[in-house]
Amino acid sequence: MDILSKANSIVSEYDQIMQQMMDNNIMLNQDKMTSLSRQKSALDESYQLCKQYIDLKNQLAELDEMRNDKEYEELAKEESIELNSHLESLEKQLKKILISDDPNDNKNAIIEIRAGTGGDEAGLFASDLMRMYSRYAENNNLKVKIMDIHETGVGGLKSATFSIEGPKAYGVYKYEGGVHRVQRIPKTESGGRVHTSAATVAVLPEAETAEVEINDSDIKIDTYRASGAGGQHVNKTESAIRLTHIPTGLVVTCQDESSQHKNKASAMKVLRSRLFALEQEKLNKDRDEMRKSLVSTGDRSAKIRTYNFPQGRITDHRINYTTHKLQVTLEGELDHLIEQLKLAEDSAKIE
């Protein structure tokens, strides 16, 4: 990792953000100002360290020139030792920040869970995953907001879309994207045979209005009556919303809010985040192989984890990590998995 060029890049990015924030036209755009303010906050700490690092590097370069002068040679040598010691300490701090420097980490997360192969059992497992993520959010003072949910007749889920709101929400949940596989004896299985089922999870960083521009003419809006539990209101009112983004063909539904207006706002939030994720994917496509191997790719088709009930075991296939904390993990204790995945990602970035 070339720390000096990375430090120069961060200082330049920070200065550009500050310039934009002082632009009179941008000042009048509240969404853009909110976005820039968040970007600035995310860079504040690393900017200060980078400035110090560049300053020290410049001082050391000057001292190197002074060492060619006999009169100042000893003085320059002593000062160089002191500055190098400070520089080493700064490098350690910067590495820690730079390797985990993902601007999306501070955003809210939007999670989509879908039952995969396995019939009713897959639906029950999808429900288990949603409960696990909700419990983790509750334990960490993060807010869960359900946007769209389709249940099965046996208490499972066909699909669910919900947001997790709070500090570093995406940075925590981003490792969950992919195919989750479960091996267990279904309650309906009389012969006691172990079945394998799956559910897919997609995790998106919530995009801000200023980051993704959506033209009204590009959206087809349909309204319909919501289905599922919800009393008489659900059946009488066409409050559910379906948005189709014509240029990409993306379809988003939302039916969990009480009014059409609220459902449309939630659906727009999901659509914006999906479009943002598509843009990010395009940007990352041409990067090196290391990028593809990072644990946070969120590839829906990649099998990332197996939950084996007969052996009480969870295996994360991306990092070959196995633990027997199956029950406590499903109760929302995800920290042990997140820590291992983050370590693996940081190691890959350093390499």
- What is the average pLDDT value for the chain, to the nearest integer? 84
**155-200: per-residue pLDDT in tens?**
899 999 999 999 889 999 999 999 999 999 987 676 788 999 999 9
Domain CATH for 256: 3.30.160.20
By the 8 A CB rule, do 147 and 268 touch?
no
Strands 143-151 and 240-245: unpaired
Q: Are residues 126 and 273 in the same domain?
A: no
CA distance 129 to 62: 58
- Quick one: pLDDT at residue 2? 76
Q: What is the SS3 assignment for 95-126?
A: HHHHHCCCHHHHCCEEEEEEECCCHHHHHHHH
104 and 84 Cβ atoms separated by less than 8 Å: no
What is the rounded distance in angstroms from the CA atom of residue 149 to the CA atom of residue 308?
Answer: 26
CA 299 → CA 281, 329, 351, distances in Å? 10, 22, 22
The helix or strand, by DSSP H or E, that contains position 134, with its residue range, turns out to be helix 119-139
3-state secondary structure of 295: coil
Query: What pLDDT shows up at residue 189?
Result: 72
Which class for 13: exposed (0-12), middle (13-18), buried (19 or more C-beta within 10 A)? middle
CA pair distance 60, 64, nearest whole angstrom: 6
> CATH number, domain at 145?
3.30.70.1660
Q: Are residues 61 and 131 in the same domain?
A: no
Core vs surface per residue 232-263: b (16+ CB within 10 A) or e: eebeeeebbbbbbbeeeeeebbbbbbeebeeb
CA end-to-end distance (rounded Å), the chain: 8
**Cross-sheet strand order for the sheet of 250-254:** 219-224, 240-245, 250-254
Total domains in the chain come to: 3
Same domain, 65 and 201: no
Query: What does the block give as tokens for 337?
Result: 């998995």
162/131 same-domain check: yes
pLDDT value, residue 1: 55
Same domain, 187 and 242: no
* pTM tops 0.85: no
Same domain flag for 190 and 298: yes
Total residues belonging to the chain: 351
Last residue of a domain, one of 230, 253, 285: 285
* Helical segments of 141-259, H only: 169-173, 231-236
Please write the tens of the pLDDT for every residue from 306-323.
Answer: 999 999 999 999 999 999
pLDDT, tens only, 25-42: 888 888 888 888 888 887
**In terms of domains, do 94 and 112 share one?**
no
Same domain? 83 vs 8: yes
| pLDDT tens track for 242-264 | 999 999 999 999 987 778 888 98
Domain that residue 23 falls in: 3-101
pLDDT at 154: 82
Examine the domain organization and report whether 182 and 136 are in the same domain: yes
User: Quick check: 33 and 26 in contact, CB under 8 A?
Assistant: yes
Domain boundary among 235, 266, 285: 285
Predicted confidence (pLDDT) at residue 240 exceeds the cutoff of 50: yes
Residue whose entry in the numeric block shows the structure tokens 């593809």: 292
Whether the CA torsion 104, 109, 112, 118 is positive or negative: it is: positive
What pLDDT score does 298 carry? 42
In this predicted structure, the answer to whether residue 342 has a pLDDT above a threshold of 80 is: yes
Say yes or no: 241 and 180 in one domain: no
* 163 and 18 in a common domain: no
Residue-wise pLDDT tens digits, 265-279: 889 989 989 898 888
My answer on whether 110 and 189 are in the same domain is yes
Instruction: Find the helix or strand (DSSP H, E) in which 282 lies.
Output: helix 260-285
Region 56-84 average pLDDT: 83
Residue 286's pLDDT band (boundaries 50, 70, 90)? very low
Q: How much is the pLDDT for 102?
A: 73
Q: Among the listed ranges 75-84, 91-100, 128-137, 286-295, which one has the minimum average pLDDT value?
A: 286-295
List, in sequence order, every residue forming a beta bridge with 251; answer none if it has no partner.
244
The CA-CA-CA angle for residues 168, 244, 32, to 5°, reads: 45
Assess whether pLDDT exceeds 60 at residue 235: no
Per-residue pLDDT band at 75 (split at 50, 70, 90): confident
Per-residue confidence band for 99, with pLDDT thresholds at 50, 70 and 90: low
Given 68, 101, 134, the domain boundary residue is 101
Percent of the chain with pLDDT over 70: 88
- State the pLDDT at residue 101: 60
